[in-house]
Amino acid sequence: MAAAAKKSGGADEEYNASEIQVLEGLEPVRKRPGMYIGSTGFDGLHHLIKEIADNSIDEAIAGYATHVKVTLLNDGGCRVDDDGRGIPVDIHPKTKLSTLETVLTVLHAGGKFGGGGYKVSSGLHGVGSSVVNALSTHMIAEVYRDGKINHIEFDTGKTVKPIEVTGSTDKQGTSITFYPDPAIFKETTTFDYDWVVNYLRHQAYLTKGILTSVHDERTGKTDSFYFEGGIKSYVRRLNEGKEVVSDDIFYVEKQVEDSGVEIAVQYNDSFSETMRPFANNVLTPDGGTHVVGFRTAMNRVINDYARKNGLLKEKEDNLTGDDIKEGLTAVILVKLPDPQFEGQTKNKLGNPEVRGYVDKVTSEYFAYYLEEHPDIAKKIVQKATLAARARKAARAARDNVIRKGAFEGLNLPSKLADCSSRDRTECELFIVEGNSAAGSAKEGRDSKIQAILPLRGKVLNTERARLDKMFANAEIVSLIKALGVGIGDTFDINGLRYYKIVFMTDADVDGAHISTLLLTFFFRYMPEVIKAGHVYLAKPPLFGLIKGTGNTRKIEYIYNEEALEQTLAKRIEERKVAGTKINPEDETFKQAGYTAQQRFKGLGEMDAAQLWETTMNPANRTLIRVNIEDAEKADAIFTKLMGDEAELRKNFIQSRAATVDLDDLDF
């Protein structure tokens, strides 16, 4: 009570200047690392590499470096080398320290402010190197400049070996080695080779003429990337496995005011768009002003060309943005001196002037391209016109579906067994393969929070299907209506009725195929639902190990072959230690003390109680959340596995045939 009275009264004498914590130097970074690198998990760990390597890439963008190399060291560290100018080592007038030490120990110190060091750069805040230093147990920096090797070392951001000249050299550039602090990165400090490969490949695409390479001392792996064509090569890669409208790629690179605009475009025969927008080599997945300028110009130029050349009839409506982006693959790269990103993650570009720059360049040069390539222009317009017709047919089909659904109670599919809760944050939708399994699921579920939608057979492969065809498919229509988010131009994730959407299929090849078909649908038409973390795969057991009979009967559920082998081996060893006599003539499960072993070939083989206990009960079940970690790789895999090119699937299967264990296959 006294404390309360004191708080509600006048000034609190104990609350004074001494209570205010002032963090100096790099202390704020170690105190709140997530503010600077996003997280302290896998992504944050690898962000350290990006922060250092981005500085080397900036040297290449400025025209001073030709090679950026990342080495993953045997002792857990990472070294980044470049052949740029080398970080200056002279005394900085403000800090009175060497410029090298200043850059590595002072937040917001670098060549990215004021335009003196770099006209454009991928780093926005100028904090990268010092942040990496703060979050590393040890950092070593060497600068090769003016014939000298300059060496300096740090521990957790503090200088432990001041800068000194340790030798002479004819090299030029910077080398930085760092060791992530396990006290910060508690999840892992092990760098992933594939992540580095993917990052360096992209940087080579975006900075034409630069060589990027990675060497892994732990495994001996090495990869290098060099693309003379830059983003033209990138577009070509994005369209691998797809039938393109023409082998020719539209490309333009122009300077507008103090900014650069670089665009590459090629159409393919798919029904989806592949857009990769970048600002100063930073991917902006949520778009921004550069994407708005590009779309505006493309819509205007293609419609103008179609009208001018009689490819659109006088009474026909203009093609929409959705029509024009069907099958479009585009890479947009803008370089500007002062990029304004929205948020620390830099997902969206906000510079208003960039919209006009990109609009101007696209309008002028894509118009020239269409005039100079009439055959390609005609194919692009024809493809967009077909998309427009399909869009109108889809709208009519959708309206028809809605009209018919008006009598089904709140427009939900009749075969949906809905849950009773109206708090969608606790609601789950189980998409179940087959009526038998659906029956068990309906009987065994928690009807308050769990809804069941049965599927009949394999759903439509939506990789090669437009919306009009999808609205003619009863299973897809049921799924769309149950989710509540709409589709196409009516899609709104805020309408999602369930916060967990669970694919519950058999633990066999057919079940995996159905899950893949469902994933194709969500990836192509509702990727936002996946990105928001709403899509899951159920993991039903594959085996049941049975002990006892009658009332004493108990089942231990096992989820894969490897776990079964480990469980049986462990039980046999325990029985041997206990002195139990093992009869080698018995089947393995009997040697382990079980009375029977059951293999579940399908969900329908489990009764309601078993299905609830193993696969649906939140207290016991295992759910695998579906993430889109690499959208480009996912796009390529869906194209390969679900597209029209049988040869791609054949090659995919043949390349992996040697790794398949035939004992795991059922014949």
pLDDT band at 604 (very low <50, low <70, confident <90, very high): confident
- pLDDT reported for residue 657: 61
Structure tokens at 542: 């594959």
Single-letter amino acid, residue 266: Q
Mean pLDDT of the 120-136 span: 72
- pLDDT reported for residue 158: 93
Secondary structure percentages of the chain, helix, strand, coil, to 5: 40, 20, 40
- pLDDT reported for residue 463: 85
DSSP state of 169: -
Higher pLDDT among residues 72 and 666, named by residue: 72
Strand 259-267 relative to strand 328-335, pairing: antiparallel
Angstrom distance (rounded) from CA 147 to CA 171:
7
pLDDT at residue 637 above 80? no
pLDDT at residue 602 above 60? yes
**Please, what are the domains in the chain?**
27-226 (3.30.565.10), 231-391 (3.30.230.10), 410-540 (3.40.50.670), 543-599 (no CATH)
Strand, coil or helix: what is 450?
Answer: strand
Higher pLDDT among residues 309 and 127, named by residue: 309
DSSP state of 284: -
pLDDT at residue 319 above 50? yes
Q: Are 231 and 206 in contact (CB under 8 A)?
A: yes
Q: Are 107 and 101 in contact (CB under 8 A)?
A: no
Angstrom distance (rounded) from CA 72 to CA 645:
38
Q: Which residues are catalytic?
A: 433, 506, 508, 510
* pLDDT tens track for 327-336: 999 999 999 9
Strand 596-599 relative to strand 543-547, pairing: antiparallel
Mean pLDDT of the 55-80 span: 94
Residue 91 pairs in a beta bridge with: 98
pLDDT at residue 113 above 80? no
Most confident residue range from 9-23, 181-195, 311-325:
181-195
pLDDT band at 412 (very low <50, low <70, confident <90, very high): confident
Burial (CB < 10 A; 0-12, 13-18, 19+), residue 572, is: middle
User: What are the Cα distances from residue 358, in Å, to 253, 321, 575?
Assistant: 11, 16, 73
- pLDDT reported for residue 648: 65
- pLDDT reported for residue 32: 86
Angstrom distance (rounded) from CA 149 to CA 286:
43
Give just the sign of the alpha carbon dihedral 91, 92, 93, 94: negative
Strand, coil or helix: what is 150?
Answer: strand
Q: Which runs of consecutive H residues, i.e. helices, occur in 346-373? A: 352-372
Structure tokens at 651: 């090659």
Q: Which residues, 6+ apart, have CB-to-CB distance to 96 below 8 Å?
A: none
Higher pLDDT among residues 667 and 648, named by residue: 648
Q: Which residues, 6+ apart, have CB-to-CB distance to 390 below 8 Å?
A: 466, 467, 468
Helix (H) or strand (E) holding 114, with range, is: none
Closest of 450, 621, 626 to residue 532, by C-alpha: 626
- pLDDT reported for residue 660: 53
Single-letter amino acid, residue 221: K
pLDDT band at 16 (very low <50, low <70, confident <90, very high): very low
Give just the sign of the alpha carbon dihedral 294, 295, 296, 298: positive
The lowest-confidence range among 106-110, 372-376, 446-450 is 106-110
pLDDT at residue 127 above 60? no
* pLDDT tens track for 479-509: 998 999 988 878 899 999 999 999 999 877 7
The overall average pLDDT reported for the chain is 87
Share of residues in the chain with pLDDT > 70 (%): 87
The lowest-confidence range among 249-263, 338-352, 367-381 is 338-352
Mean pLDDT of the 596-606 span: 85
- pLDDT reported for residue 408: 40
Q: What is the pTM assigned to this prediction?
A: 0.76
Residue 276 pairs in a beta bridge with: 331
Q: Between vectors from CA 346 to CA 343 and to CA 349, what angle results, nearest 5°?
A: 95
